[in-house]
Structure 1
Amino acid sequence: MTEPGARLARYAGLAGSALLTVAGYLGGALPDAPLGATPVSIWRAPNGPATFTCWLIGTAVLVGAWWSLRAGAPSGRWAYVTAGLWTLPLLVAPPLGSRDVYSYACQGWTYAHGADPYAVGVAAAGCPWVDAVAPIWRDTPAPYGPVFVLLAALAVTLGGGLTGTIVALRVIAVAGLLLAALCLPGLARAAGVPTRRAVWLALATPLVGVHLVAGAHNDAVMLGLLLCGLLVVVRRPGRPAALLVAGALLGLAVTVKATAVVVTPFAALAAVHGRHTVRALLRDGGALVGGLLAALLVTSALSGLGFGWVAGLTRSGDSEQWTSPPTAVGLVADYAGALVGRDPHAVPVVRAVALLLLAAVVVVLWCRAWRALRASGDPASVRARVTLHGAGLALAATVALSPVFHPWYATWPLALLALTATRTTWFVLPTAMAAFLALPDGTNLARFTKAPGALAMTALLLTALILPVWHRQKRPPAAQDPARTWL
């Protein structure tokens, strides 16, 4: 894009961000906002039309500005400055797009007041802010690791009241994003891609500003620790001390959000210095895994919480939304069963099958990466790109096959695929579309389009499965470099 066009995108995005901030004050996820609202009731509220208008126009303008430079900003510095400009209005916005930050606050309050957030819900613990928490999460244990519970408790201690706690949680989220921002250039250079593209795709996406900054989601902290650990791995492969540090950083990411664990097998491949043999993998990958396990054990012991958070992960899928492909397929099966007078209860079955499929996909991706590295002769750039791309695909599979999907989940694979993928539309387009799913007050539009959404998602999934097979039958595969066949 020409310089005038890039300048237009910069200030259009800033205007979109400002409109979203206005929408937040008019009808965002404020503590006293009515819960269980519908799009119709929100529209009929005193500020409803203005809220919808600011939200829709602001989101469309911000997404359009980001999309227009998806091939890369004019420079890395330009991308950083623009992403920062877009973030400024959202730093002072009320919580947007979700009420999860109130759950974080109450979980931190629970721990700070001597109760176990993995044993009791925030309502039973007596959190004074429980009325601001979404009803579905008031009686569920915390699904986050001990590091994030400690950070939430620190936010409660420093913040005092609810407003101060929300501000502190937002500062923690921004710190995670700053750590990620510091690591992106080094990872981009290691993977051999332009920093300007990686930074733009990973940081300027509207999902970062709306959900990780304004929404203060803990995904920001997880991504910061995850990218920092990966940077240490790709810069210092084969060095035991560095690999222990990298493993510890990855372990800390897991103890914020367990999703980060799927990156570990690929980080172990990146840890190998020289030729990729089983012996080298056990030596170098073992050092990294040792650091990760040490971080898990130490944080669980020091917090006094143990591994109770693992059980809490099973409750994260309590909501059923068609934005999760397995859930959509299960819902369609239930609808079909209802037509013949049966109730197959297919959703939990399809979700369980999807998790097994996810495990298989991760194994296949790892084996492909292993073969590519064995065939490459281990040039440093190939090693970094193959392993980071495998990790990004594993996170993409995790998002696609998880029991539930929320818009901010798209930031997980985006951060790594921005560093490695040669074709970007297949993951940038869904990310752009996800920005429209959540209203400012946290209402998820998927809740109100359950049947048509489930049918559309199932049809899209079938198309995505059939088309590659059809194209492969029509055109025989050409011989390619094994290290680049999946990039």
Structure 2
Amino acid sequence: MSESAARPRGGTATSPGVLPGPLDERTPRSLRPVGPRRLLSELIEFVYRLAGSTLATPRVAVGVSLVGLLLIMLVGILSPNFNTLPPNFTGDPANLKPIVLPLSGHLWELPWFVSFPLTYLAIVLQCLGLAGLLWANSRGWRPNPRHLFLAACAIVAVMVNITPVGSSDAASYAAYGHVANRGFDPYTNGPDILGPQNPYTRSVGPMWTRTPSVYGPIATWVQQLAAWLGGLSPGSTVHFLMIFNGAVFLGVGYFLLRTADDPVRASLMWVANPVLIQQLVAGGHLDTYAAAAVVVGVQIARGGTQGWRYLAAGLAVGIACAFKVNSGLVGAGLAWALAMRRDWWNTARLAVGGVGSVVFFYSFYGLHAVKQLLTASSLVATPSPWRAFQLALQGIFALFGEGDLGQRIGAVATSIGWPILMIAVAVFIYRRFSPDQPAAVTVPFALCFAWIVVAPWSLPWYAALAWVILALLPRNPMTRWLTLATVFLALMHSSGGGPAPWANS
């Protein structure tokens, strides 16, 4: 996590904007920074101390990582996640039963006040374990990447048979697939179209039962396949989705093992990354599919200057967008990198491949398939600074009896302001890399990371795109910040399961 810093463009190690080193204990308090800068400096000092501790030894790092993953497995096995799979309604309130996957629900049940702390402890241990693994690697530890891959296969094989932990998305995926199989349009109908007593409707979190799908056409087809295999059982459908997702996660790991410049680092950053294993595999998120298509596109684009490469790279990014539209940031990053060297022909080829494939896939549903995306783009997550900005603006206008006007102005200012700020942050991140790093990798990463940091609605599994691209680069200071950002989001947006609060009503 505290890997060797790259020299910034056009500056020295002490240029403005470069993070300071650890504080010297002999520095007088009067000379130490104050406020947020002091907190940041003390955080960096703490990280440096950890980097020199036994945590940076391979055995300890691997042990801490495994404990973090085992705790999440324990939560998934012992605590049905009501935020992911609420009880199935069979017509009789006395028959409320939790929907669980094969390895869950056979032992006792953890109360929520135990499962939630266990989840947060697991996330912290996964962060520390990942940091230790990367520190050990920077000190010369070179594990066999194939062994890392095989170990990940064993962990993933268990994870896909455990009830998802961390979000309600897996149940929504299953419901959208069943909605489509029943002949309804998932882009205009929410799961409630199936009826209030349908097990798929009951399996979706109450907040999302009326929400149409925001996922791309290929994502819908994957969901339909799983729902077809699962039949009338949402639990079975979620199980198939978990298996598909775990296989794709391992497929990305194998691709990186075979194509990355440093297979060991790439394996530690993806397939052996305990933070990602929880967020993507244990959570069962579609972001894994988008990351798979994106990393293929980036590797194709950086592999040469032939025109066909950029056409193929655009096609790969278009496929990623047909899973989740935020993958378009990678296409924008590749186009930005080409524009910087005034390679307009290859920029055009990239656009033809990307835009053409997106139009092709969305043509199966029509323009209304993107309508819900526009609605979802106005959402603001509670921990986001944009939410505080909107509330403050609304409060100021409320003093003059115009609270609704303040709310509307805040929403408009947010929708205009965050893309501008994202570009500014992306430029700052890009300039933290040394000039010898390929822009076809660093620019897409900068945009993806900036989006995670700045976007009003940001969740930990959204970081998959940034992680898979960063795995292609040598050691750099962005690794520690991506880790901290991902873990912070995980702590803010993670449900640890527990009995459904309405189960006994």
- Under a length normalisation based on structure 1, what TM-score does the superposition of the two structures give? 0.74
Cα displacement string for residues 399-439 of structure 1 (whole angstroms, at most 9, x for unaligned residues):
23323122222333233234447213222222223332312
Cα displacement string for residues 115-151 of structure 1 (whole angstroms, at most 9, x for unaligned residues):
1111111102445411111122111211111111111
CA distance in 1, matches of 2:71, 2:482: 26
- The answer to whether structure 1 residue 229 and structure 2 residue 283 are counterparts is no
Which amino acid in structure 2 is aligned with residue 16 of structure 1?
G
Gaps of at least 5 residues in structure 2 are 1-50, 90-108, 500-505
CA distance in 2, matches of 1:372, 1:427: 13
- Given the alignment, which residue of 113, 118, 122 partners 1:58? 122
Between 1:350-359 and 1:252-261, the stretch displaced more is 350-359
Deviation at 1:98, TM superposition (A): 0.8
CA distance in 2, matches of 1:284, 1:196: 32
CA distance in 1, matches of 2:315, 2:406: 39
Corresponding residue number in structure 1 for 2:355: 293
CA distance in 1, matches of 2:165, 2:344: 45
Percent of residue pairs identical: 22
Cα displacement string for residues 178-230 of structure 1 (whole angstroms, at most 9, x for unaligned residues):
343234356642xxxx4433432344444422231122111111111111111
Corresponding residue number in structure 2 for 1:316: 376
RMSD, matched Cα: 3.6
- The answer to whether structure 1 residue 5 and structure 2 residue 60 are counterparts is no
Q: Map 1:17-166 to 2 at 5 A.
A: 17-30=69-82, 31-33=85-87, 47-71=111-135, 73=137, 74-75=141-142, 77=145, 79-81=148-150, 83-84=152-153, 86-126=155-195, 128-160=199-231, 161-166=233-238
CA distance in 1, matches of 2:328, 2:226: 25
Corresponding residue number in structure 1 for 2:386: 326
Deviation at 1:265, TM superposition (A): 2.5
Deviation at 1:239, TM superposition (A): 3.1
Between 1:4-13 and 1:80-89, the stretch displaced more is 80-89
CA distance in 2, matches of 1:147, 1:91: 21
Gaps of at least 5 residues in structure 1 are 36-44, 444-487
CA distance in 1, matches of 2:242, 2:338: 33
Aligned 8 A contact 2:398 2:406 in 1: no
Structure 1 residues 331 and 68: CA distance shift in structure 2, 3 A: farther
Q: Map 1:350-429 to 2 at 5 A.
A: 350-360=410-420, 382=437, 384=438, 386-420=439-473, 422-423=476-477, 424-429=479-484
Provide the aligned length of Structure 1 versus Structure 2: 415
Corresponding residue number in structure 1 for 2:28: none
Say which SS state the counterpart of residue 463 (structure 2) adopts.
helix
Structure 1 residues 21 and 258: CA distance shift in structure 2, 3 A: same
CA distance in 2, matches of 1:269, 1:52: 42
Say which SS state the counterpart of residue 278 (structure 2) adopts.
helix
Corresponding residue number in structure 1 for 2:31: none
Deviation at 1:367, TM superposition (A): 8.3
Structure 1 residues 110 and 414: CA distance shift in structure 2, 3 A: same
- Under a length normalisation based on structure 2, what TM-score does the superposition of the two structures give? 0.72
- Given the alignment, which residue of 252, 265, 268 partners 2:319? 252
- Given the alignment, which residue of 439, 442, 456 partners 2:495? 439
Aligned 8 A contact 1:80 1:200 in 2: no
CA distance in 2, matches of 1:65, 1:269: 35
Q: Of the two structures, which has the highest relative contact order with CA contacts closer than 8 Å and spacing of 6 or more?
A: 2
Structure 1 residues 116 and 199: CA distance shift in structure 2, 3 A: same
Deviation at 1:70, TM superposition (A): 3.2
Corresponding residue number in structure 1 for 2:239: 167
Which amino acid in structure 1 is aligned with residue 277 of structure 2?
G
Structure 1 residues 307 and 299: CA distance shift in structure 2, 3 A: same
